[in-house]
Each structure stands twice: as structure tokens, then as C-alpha cells.
Structure 1
Amino acid sequence: MNVNAGPAAATDPPFTAAEMEHTELMPNYRVDLRSHASPEYQKFISLNPVHDWSLLSWKDVGKPYEVKSVAQDRKAWEREHGTSMDAHTAWTHFNQSFHQWFIKDVPAEIAKEKAEFFKNLKAFNFHQIREGIGDVVRIHLWNYVHRIQDGVWDPRGKRALFEGLDVQKPRILFLGAAEGYEAMQLAAMYPGAEVVMVDYDEYCRTTRFVEFPDAYPFLGANPRTGSPQVYYKHDFNIEYVVDDIRRLPFGREFDIVLSVGLLEHFPDEIKPEVVDWHRRFLKPGGYAIMTTPRNQLRSRLFYQIMADVMNHTYRELMTVQQMGLYIYENGMDICRHGYIKVHNGVVARIR
């Protein structure tokens, strides 16, 4: 299904390249047109810490950290059905729950949760007070991670990871695309791209992608001059396919195959197949790009506090060395790797 939003609206776009270096907090996200090369940002980026992947072993890096806390609605579903939640249902629950946080008016939500908490405090409603504390903590954490720090989308970190690819007007395949953020960032950086997004949850196409803000600016390049240019969702040539990755009809026809937060959802015996999903669609010389959440104390706390939102499926947190070793041992040479705010990233080619 082609979901290209068509020509730009008649109204002027909210941001242009004239606002380069501008940042601004919107009710539910941060606009960030600042350069990732600015010195103050470098503390968030570490690229290429491993010099020779052939010398690295699992004894050196250890195994990923498994997130074991589980969302309450998954537990309730499993009690009701008397069986473990299947993968498709788990992803549906996750996508619907996660998306509700992206569309929140966060300042208004903070005010509402505070008011509700103090109302219950005055009424000595101890059960609601206990629940309210959790609600207040979660909205403040989401505000900090997604709006203040911009750690989920992290445009400057993603641009640092994605820059310098040897492609012109690339065909981009995004596996497990959700709202499609990273493919749109790539399309802004490499103008003229043709993007195919794939997810096997229809909700991602009809809701997560459709409700991604039309006014969100992606900083990229002007194809004629190479100078900065701002793009919006409607500027991109996007097809959205709802299907199981294993059934996709494509051959080796893409310049870039991308996944974000996919590899860590599978145990070790399945990870070689996940890496192969990227390899099977790449043109000779094409790039596989993968990210996973970082194994750091802040990430562990985030997934613990946000368990009801995030933890419907098997999930691991990794170091970039662990992530890269899975990819290297399964037939890929690593061109660039590193970590940004809350993600590891690897750019690889078929060996």
C-alpha cells in the first residue's frame, strides 16, 4: 500500500534550513535541527570503539541483559487464556500501548497526574495514591527521556550513525518499521530515496505511521547544492507493507536494509535468522543498519519503571560489542558501530 502523503500542504512549513541549529519543545516531542557535530553533543556519541572484530569473543563481552519484568496486561491476558501470549498479540499490545505515549500532550498530562495525585492524597485514598505515584513517575520519566533528552528518536545521534553512506537515491527497506522514523531520517539525508516500510502489525501502518506528526522536521541535504534542507513526512516516497518479514517477496534489491530495536527481541538461537533477514534483501555492496537499546543503568531503570508500556515481548539490553558480535559472526563486516544516547548502532555489509 502506497502511503506517500502527496504534495506539501499550501501552508508554509513550520521550519526551514533558515532555522538550522534551532531546538524547541513541542507538547509531545522535541524539534531538533542542531548539528550532531557540535562539541557539546559528542559526549552522547562514541563511534568505532572496536578495532578488530575478529579478535572479539563472547568470553570477552559476556551475554546481553534480559529484561524480565512483564507488562500487567500481558499477565492478565495469559491468565484469561491459560497460555503464553503469542508474538503477534504481544506486538499488537506493545504498539498500541507505546503509541499512546507518543501522542500525549506531556505538560498537560503532568498537570493532570499531579492534580489527581493530590486529590487522592487529600481524600486519604491510599490505593489510588499508590497507583498515582507510579503514574506521576512514568509521565515525568517519559518527559525526560523522549522530550527533554530526545533519546527515543535522537535525530542528531541517528544522523551521526547514518552519515557517509555511498548511496545515491537509495531503495530503503525498513524491517519492523513501526512509525518509520529512522527511514524518514535516512530519506532526508539521501534525497530521492524510495522507502518500503514493513511491519506485521496493521496498527503500525494505520495509526503509528499515519499519526506521526506532519510538522516534524527532518534535517537532511539539498540534492542540488549539498547544503542543509528540512524535509517532512509528505516529502518522502513511502510504501507501507503489512506482512511477516519471512514472507516478503523481495529479492536482493535494496541499497539499505534497516531495523531498529529488532535483534534484541529474539533469543540466541533465532538471532542468526534475524541477521539473515537483512542480508537476503541487500544489493551487492548495500548496507545493513541495525540498532538496539543499550545495556546501561538508565536503560534498565527505564524498562523497569515503564514495564507496563514496554515489556510485552522477549527483550534484551546489549552493549555495542555484544550486538556487533552477533552481526559479525553471522556473515557481516562492520563498517561503523557505536552508541548514541540510548541505542547501539551498527552499519554493516555482507562479507
Structure 2
Amino acid sequence: MRSQTREDNDYGYTHELNTTTLTPSYRIDLRNPTNEHKDQFFNANVVSDWSQLSWKEIGKPYEVKTVAKSKKEWEKEHGDMSVKTSWEFFNRSFHDWFVKDVPEEIAKSKKEMKEHLAKFKLKEVKQALGETARLSLWNYAHRIEDGIWDPRGKRALFEGLDLQKPRILFLGAAEGYEAMQLHAMYPGGEVVMVDYDEFCKTDRFGHFPETYPFLGKKTASGQPKIWYKDEMNISYVVDDIRNLHFGKEFDVVLSVGLLEHFPDDYKGQVMEWHRKFLKPGGYVIMTTPRFQVKSRLFYTIMADVMNHTYRELMDIRQMGLYVYKGGFDIKRHGYIKVHNGIVAQPR
């Protein structure tokens, strides 16, 4: 007889509910499948009345000004890098790190550092030391702490919405992780992912591990169920968000790490993109990286991986004020490990 905590499927994958497991590249986290207790990574109600909040009181976001070495080198030869090219550089660099066998890479880097040290090759030692530091930080942030995907925190943010078989639009989707998690929790609908870099469709999403388990529920009974990418109804559109011809036809418009890449002069447009495709009564769900010491350290040490585009770090009040002033009422807001999270609806 199959264990009550065990989930098998037609693809031959098997995972245990209420478990967490480390793979060489990422963490699997299937704890708290019935949501019997509120997840510790989400704390709401920082602000009770957004209409009373002002920029004078909270200040503007912190701009990350450290730039990737590859961007500097490219601009020496070609001039200012366009926004699209910046994203293409970022997506390829980021994907290279997502697919690393991290323990193996750390061991290799440490071995090289020892060999260079034994030969007094100080330049090579410095390079290997920097690579080891980046690998160790990535290992902690993404693999050990699971801060980038953060499934328990994202599930806490997505929990309890009035959704039945929703159509979900993911703007700036990259590998599409959050839309797949949302789709697993509210199954039976459809996900449309949008990104203007073809690489995101072919590689970041295309090579997302088929065996990665998304904890959600069964369509009919609502009981816990593990979903996989290939079981989901997903289409991927490669285009500029400004060129999309959808109407107000989506129950959820989702973005993850999008708002903070636009200076203030453009943030109103970003909020309008979210409103433009939303059904009456639909939800906007957004996250941005948090302003905290750990995040500033991460974007400094990982600059060559992360810092190809304009980027800000915000606290939840700053993010929320952009959303509120963009014409939305905030239904839920809080922190999930390294991100701010907001659920809102148009006023």
C-alpha cells in the first residue's frame, strides 16, 4: 500500500510530503502540505492605512550601483548597453548558476586555490578565492536557505485567494517558477508566461527540471497533491510586454522582481501593465527583493551574475506605496525571506 504521505505520478517521479531534500543544484521543500499553521516566512500588516504613508516618511529605495564586469567590458567596445541586451546578459549568467552542481563546483574551486597557493600564483589565488566566495554565498542563498524560489514563503503569500481554475499571466516570467507554484495551488486553469528574451523560453523555462515537485492540491477534492511542470497547462509568449494584445481576461497578473528594475518615471507604466490585462475582481501579485544587509551583500558579491540592469532594493512600505499610488488596494503584504510580497486589486 502506498504511504499516505507519498505522491507518485504518471511520469515515474516519487516525492514524500512533509519532507525537504537537497539536490546538487537546489532544495526541494514539501513541508506544511495542509497549511495547518501559518508559514513563519510571511508577516503581514506592516502598514494599516496606505493613504497616510508618504515618501517623506519612508524615503526612496536603495539603488544598486555595482555593475557586472561583463557589462563594463561590453560597453567599452560597444557603448551603452541597451535594456534588452542587459537582460540577455543577466538571463544567461543567472541560468549558468542555476544549473551548477554547487558542492562539486565548490570542491573544485577550493582545490584550484590550494594548487595556486602552493605555486605562489597570487593572482590566481585571488580569483579562486573570489569564485569560492560567490559559490558559497549562492549555495547558502539559493540552495540551503532556498531564498530565491522560497516555496513555503510563496505558498503563504498565494494562500487563500478566491480563485477557481484561474487564468494566470506572468509578466517577465524568466523560468516561470512562481506561476507554476500558483498553478499547482489553484489547478485546472491556464498559465501564460511572457518574456522578451527567447532564451527564457528555450533555456530558463525549457530546461527547468521536470522532476521538481510543486506542492498544491487536487482539482476535485482539494487534498494535497504534487504537481510537475509537464502536467500543467502553460504557454510561453516571447514578446515585449508593451506589444501584448490581451484584453482584461486574466484572474491573476503576476510579476516577480520586475518593478524594481524601473526608475520612478516608469513605475506608473509598470503598474498599468498589471491593470491592463486583469479581469474585474482579479488579483495582482508582485514581489521585489528586500532592502536588508544580506541582500546588499548578495548583490555586491554576486555582481558579475546579477548586476546587468537597473536595480533597486525596497522595503515593503516603499514597494506598497508604489502599488497604492498606482491605483491598487493592497489586500496582503509582507516579507518572505529575501523578498517583499504584495497581493492587490485595482481601486
Q: Which category of TM-score, normalised to the shorter sequence, fits these structures?
A: over 0.9
Deviations 1:175-221 (A, max 9, x none): 00000000000000001120000000000000000110101000001
- 1:271 counterpart = 2:267: yes
Shift >3 Å, 4+ stretches: 8-11, 36-41
- 1:117 counterpart = 2:91: no
- 1:234 counterpart = 2:230: yes
**Which residue of structure 1 lines up, in the alignment, with residue 80 of structure 2?**
84
In 1, Cα distance between equivalents of 2:314 and 2:39:
22
In 1, Cα distance between equivalents of 2:129 and 2:118:
14
Q: Which ranges of structure 2 fall in alignment gaps of 5 or more residues? A: 1-7
- 1:74 counterpart = 2:85: no
Relative to structure 1, the CA distance from residue 327 to residue 30 in structure 2 (aligned partners, 3 Å threshold; closer, same or farther) is same
Displacement of 1:57 = 0.8
The count of corresponding residues between Structure 1 and Structure 2 is 339
Deviations 1:147-200 (A, max 9, x none): 100000000000000111111100000000000000000000001120000000
In 2, Cα distance between equivalents of 1:215 and 1:100:
19
Q: Helix, strand or coil: the match of 2:264?
A: coil
**Which residue of structure 1 lines up, in the alignment, with residue 19 of structure 2?**
22
Identify the match of residue 314 of structure 2 among 318, 343, 347.
318
**Which residue of structure 1 lines up, in the alignment, with residue 249 of structure 2?**
253
**Which residue of structure 2 lines up, in the alignment, with residue 184 of structure 1?**
180
Deviations 1:221-255 (A, max 9, x none): 11222111000001110000000000001010000
In 1, Cα distance between equivalents of 2:57 and 2:252:
30
**Which residue of structure 1 lines up, in the alignment, with residue 4 of structure 2?**
none
Displacement of 1:11 = 4.4
Identify the match of residue 295 of structure 1 among 291, 313, 323.
291
**Which residue of structure 2 lines up, in the alignment, with residue 3 of structure 1?**
none
Deviations 1:309-335 (A, max 9, x none): 000000000001000000100110111
In 2, Cα distance between equivalents of 1:348 and 1:282:
11
**Which residue of structure 2 lines up, in the alignment, with residue 222 of structure 1?**
218
In 2, Cα distance between equivalents of 1:49 and 1:13:
41
Displacement of 1:48 = 2.2
Deviations 1:7-53 (A, max 9, x none): x98542221xxx221100001010100128577951x3211211111
In 2, Cα distance between equivalents of 1:27 and 1:52:
44
Identify the match of residue 107 of structure 1 among 103, 128, 137.
103
Given that residues 38 and 156 in structure 2 are in contact (C-alpha distance below 8 angstroms), is that contact kept between their aligned partners in structure 1? no
**Which residue of structure 1 lines up, in the alignment, with residue 28 of structure 2?**
31
Q: Helix, strand or coil: the match of 1:59?
A: helix
Amino acid at match of 2:287: T
Amino acid at match of 2:202: T
In 2, Cα distance between equivalents of 1:308 and 1:225:
47
Q: Helix, strand or coil: the match of 1:304?
A: helix
Q: CA RMSD in A?
A: 1.4
- 1:333 counterpart = 2:329: yes
TM-score between both structures, scaled by the size of structure 1: 0.94
Amino acid at match of 2:23: M
Identical amino acids, percent of aligned pairs: 64
In 2, Cα distance between equivalents of 1:41 and 1:47:
11
In 1, Cα distance between equivalents of 2:105 and 2:266:
40
Q: Which ranges of structure 1 fall in alignment gaps of 5 or more residues? A: 1-7
Given that residues 39 and 156 in structure 2 are in contact (C-alpha distance below 8 angstroms), is that contact kept between their aligned partners in structure 1? no
Amino acid at match of 1:211: H
**Which residue of structure 1 lines up, in the alignment, with residue 196 of structure 2?**
200
